[in-house]
Amino acid sequence: MKVGIVRFPGSNCDEDAWLAIVEQLREQAVMLWHKDHDLQGSDVIILPGGFAYGDYLRAGAIARFSPIMREVAAHAERGGIVIGICNGFQVACEAHLLPGALLRNNGGYRSMPVTIRVERTDTPMTSAAPKGACLTMPIAHGEGRFTASEDDLDRMEDAGQVIFRYVDAAGEATASANPNGSMRNVAGVCNAGRNVVGLMPHPERAMEPLLRSSDGRVLFESLLATVNA
């Protein structure tokens, strides 16, 4: 598997993603500068966390016009896998690769471990996870409140596009388990084609016991299994 990690000015989880792929999975990764036009044959594109363009205007709003995003959109259009993590999720929504929007948290910036439940295993990022698996990994964001119109969210639910929800220790999607006010506790979604996935939590920061959780591994192992299938 070859993973292209897009580096925007202001990305700061690009190295974490690189370490997850190269050191933990022992797979290939390549950094893609935002002004590049070549995905270098990457099977998977990761839009990493950070504050691309300082989150000016709205998080992700400027980054979506970076030159490389045209190639990323074309990759997604061809059915290629694109993963948006945190700021990358915001960029993917602004680029209309994913439905909805991520607004300012209800409650301000949150940096903490959360538990998310895998709602769907028919995506490239969840195929190796058991349905209903509860995974613990960190969040660190100020603008992660997933928002869409009720009608659009109903359609997404019917189509199985809600793939992660914030849950409590008992695995229930309660209000107190929701760290940012996301509608219906949504932590991650996919597009209609199921090849573009976005999530606010950071699986790349939960890859080994030293990081206090290895629960992110199964999501990267899902990518690997999908690419090798």
**Mind telling me the catalytic residues?**
86, 202, 204
Which stretch of DSSP H or E encloses residue 228? helix 217-228
Which of 7, 145, 205, 217 lies at the binding interface for another protein (CB under 8 A)? Answer: 145
- Residue 149 within binding range of another protein, rule CB under 8 A: yes
What is d(CA 94, CA 213) in angstroms, rounded to the nearest whole number?
Answer: 30
Among 38, 57, 130, 172, binds another protein (CB under 8 A): 57
CA distance 151 to 103: 18
First to last CA, the chain: 11
Q: Which residue, 45 or 93, has its beta carbon nearer to another protein?
A: 93
Rounded to the nearest 10°, the torsion over CA 62, 189, 170, 112 is -10
Q: Using the rule CB under 8 A, is 147 a contact of another protein? A: yes
* Residue 189 near residue 216, CB atoms below 8 Å: no
Rounded to a whole number of angstroms, the minimum distance from the CB of residue 73 to another protein is: 15
Tell me which stretch binds another protein (CB under 8 A): 7-15, 99-107, 163-171, 189-197: 99-107
For tokens 């996919």, name the residue. 190
**Residue from 11, 87, 105, 191 that binds another protein (CB under 8 A)?**
105
CB of 192 to another protein, least distance (A): 16
Angle among Cα 66, 68, 70 to the nearest 5 degrees reads 90
Residue 101 touches another protein, criterion: CB under 8 A? yes
Binding of another protein by 95 (CB under 8 A): no
Structure tokens belonging to residue 173: 């999607």
Which 168-187 positions form the footprint of another protein (CB under 8 A)? 181
CA dihedral 197, 203, 207, 213 (to 10 degrees): -140
| Residue range at the interface with another protein (CB under 8 A); choices 1-9, 15-23, 58-66, 165-173 | 58-66
Planar angle of CA 15, 18, 19, nearest 5 degrees? 90
In the complex, which residues of this chain contact another protein (CB under 8 A)? 57-58, 61, 65, 93-94, 100-101, 103-108, 145, 147-149, 181
